[in-house]
Structure 1
Amino acid sequence: MTAPQTDPTPTKPTTVEYIRYRIPEDRSAEFLAAYSRAARELAASPHCVDYELARCEEDFAHFVLRITWTSTEDHLQGFRTSDLFPAFLAEIRPYVANIDEMRHYKATSVRGAGSAVPTLYEWAGGAEAFARLTEAFYAKVLQDDLLAPVFAGLAPEHAEHVALWLAEVFGGPQTYSATQGGHSHMVAELPQRGCPHGRDITEPQRRRWVNLVQDAADEAELPADPEFRSAFLAYVEWGTRLAVHFSGPDAKPPAEQPVPRWGWGAAPPYRG
């Protein structure tokens, strides 16, 4: 199963450039070939996030090129002044006169995902599946010689809160946000809930944590297909590594931000 990815963490705003072309039918093949070559320069640019050339189904003469840039300035002052631009321009120059529109756009707050592809939450089995997962996991860690000291003194409602957290992370209802808060709230609340913050988690403990989560997923009968488990494990790796960071004695809680939303097959965007 393949599915689109929704970025699970807030990112720096980007700029989307749309270039609309009207290409005669007898030039469409050479146009596509030219952009296939020009795309090498886009892919090599540190200012280009992604790109896609689409063709109209109703009128084959219409093409739309979408390029996501790290910013408008990075496009105009970065890519266009770089060593990559001359080769890019050489390929597309014959089609500049065929451009109907070339503008930069910023995203608005109106956004979302459709229901054509199930969320990880839905694929896992909903709230009941994550309740089973956390129940199985905490039963294991409290009996584990390496992790029991880390998770000692858990509040009675801890497993329930984590189940709500995971459900929201994987695309379920925003119950955790409504009743508890966002990501920073989870980290800030860790000491009060007896979680790892301030306990200086070691790498062996983190590795055991990851392994026990996977064992708990098996016991809770979460889907075992490779696509789901790879996405599930990717979040566990990401989350436990953050836990290691925030468990240090000098760690500061993150700035206010929403609960991360995890999708199929990709980690949060790289932030160098």
Structure 2
Amino acid sequence: MTVHTAEYIRYRIPEDRSAEFLAAYTRAAPYLAASPHCVDYELSRCEEDFEHYILRITWTSTEDHLEGFRTSDLFPAFFAEIGPYVENIDEMRHYRPTAVHGPGSAVPSLYDWAGGAEAFSRLTDAFYARVVKDDRLAPLFEGLAPEHAEHVALWLAEVFGGPKTYSATQGGHGHMVAKHLGRHITEPQRRRWVNLIQDAADEAGLPTDAEFRSAFLAYVEWGTRLALYFSGPDAKPPAEQPVPKWNWGAAPPYQG
């Protein structure tokens, strides 16, 4: 998994210079955005003391910032805009994330938004009822174990932010991948899988808002394309990994 570096620059800008400071960074921002080493950036102003600003720039790495952006053709134009405010910097350091992180409750997980465990059970019941009748997919699932739909419901629930029941009872990502090794899935079969689970989502009453369905479909596309690859003759099982976590508009990086 790629770990980026966050650079924090803390400014103290006198009130009478705040407008010109913001204007300078507005002009400088396109040079940041154009750098292949810049992931994102944000300039924030303190609500309690308007003279304090924090600029956060996420870099692909500290080295990419110092040896990439600062030596690039973009840096002189960027620095020409913000150079007059270097004397106002209180701190300029790079930070890497620690293991202490996690989502809050202000934004519901995809699992909660979908309706929890019951929604994913309805989804897989509706889906596999279609699968066993489908001329393209039925051969792949011949001899389907009675508990298969339940296990997939637990998998999807965990992927979308629900309880880690699949991990506790079945295993991690490697366990799911192993079920596809040597299955020789075809692209038409993968595409039919994608279409049928969307139909099943409608039948199961999963939310139809664009934000949820785009995240739902993004995982379905991601997951089925991995399944297609790992079912092929030249695929090698990946290292053991945890169940991927999916969120609103975000995809976890895959590491083989």
Name the TM-score, length of structure 2 as normaliser: 0.96
1:245 positional shift? 0.8
Separation of aligned partners in 1, 2:254 and 2:63: 20
Q: 1:269: how far off? A: 4.7
Secondary structure at the counterpart of residue 18 of structure 1: strand
1:112-127 matches, cutoff 5 A? 112-127=102-117
Q: How far, CA to CA, are the matches of 1:270 and 1:75 in structure 2?
A: 24
Residues 1:93 and 2:89 are matched in the alignment: no
Q: Give the whole-Å Cα distance in 1 for the aligned partners of 2:100 and 2:66.
A: 27
Q: 1:79 to 1:51 in 2, by over 3 A?
A: same
Change (3 A) 1:168 1:270: closer
Per-residue Cα deviation, 1:1-39 (whole angstroms, up to 9, x for no partner): xxxxxxxxxx31111110000011111111111111211
Specify which of 34, 43, 46 is matched with residue 53 of structure 1.
Answer: 43
Q: 1:207 aligns with which of 191, 197, 204?
A: 191
- Using the alignment, how far apart are the partners of 1:153 and 1:146 within structure 2? 15
Does residue 1:253 correspond to 2:237, yes or no?
Answer: yes
Residues 189-214 of structure 1: per-residue CA shift (max 9 Å, x gap): x0xxxxx4312222211111111000
Q: 1:258 to 1:270 in 2, by over 3 A?
A: closer
Trace 1:182-261 onto structure 2 (pairs within 5 A): 182-188=172-178, 190=179, 196-261=180-245
Aligned length: 255
Kindly indicate whether residue 86 of structure 2 is the aligned counterpart of residue 102 of structure 1: no
| Alpha carbons 2:2, 2:253 under 8 Å: kept | no
* Relative contact order higher in (CA < 8 Å, ≥ 6 apart): 1
Distance, in Å, in 1 between the alignment partners of 2:253 and 2:230 is 20
- Specify the alignment match of 2:34 in structure 1: 44
The change in CA–CA distance for 1:269 and 1:29 in structure 2 (over 3 A counts) is farther
Query: What is the RMSD computed on CA atoms of the aligned residues?
Result: 1.4
In the other structure, the counterpart of 1:8 is none
Q: Find the aligned partners of 2:233 and 2:171 in 1 and give their Cα distance.
A: 23
Is the contact made by 2:42 and 2:57 (CA closer than 8 Å) also made in structure 1?
yes
What displacement does 1:270 show?
8.6
Aligned to 1:143: 133
Q: Deviations over 1:205-251 (max 9, x none)?
A: 11111110001001111111111111111111111111111110111
Offset at 1:254?
A: 1.6
The residue aligned with 1:3 is: none
TM (normalized to structure 1)?
A: 0.90
- Provide structure 1 residue ranges, at least 5 long, that are not aligned to the other structure: 1-10, 191-195
Cα deviation, residue 154, structure 1 = 2.0
Paired position in structure 2 for 1:73: 63
Query: Structure 2: 5+ residue runs without aligned partners?
Result: none
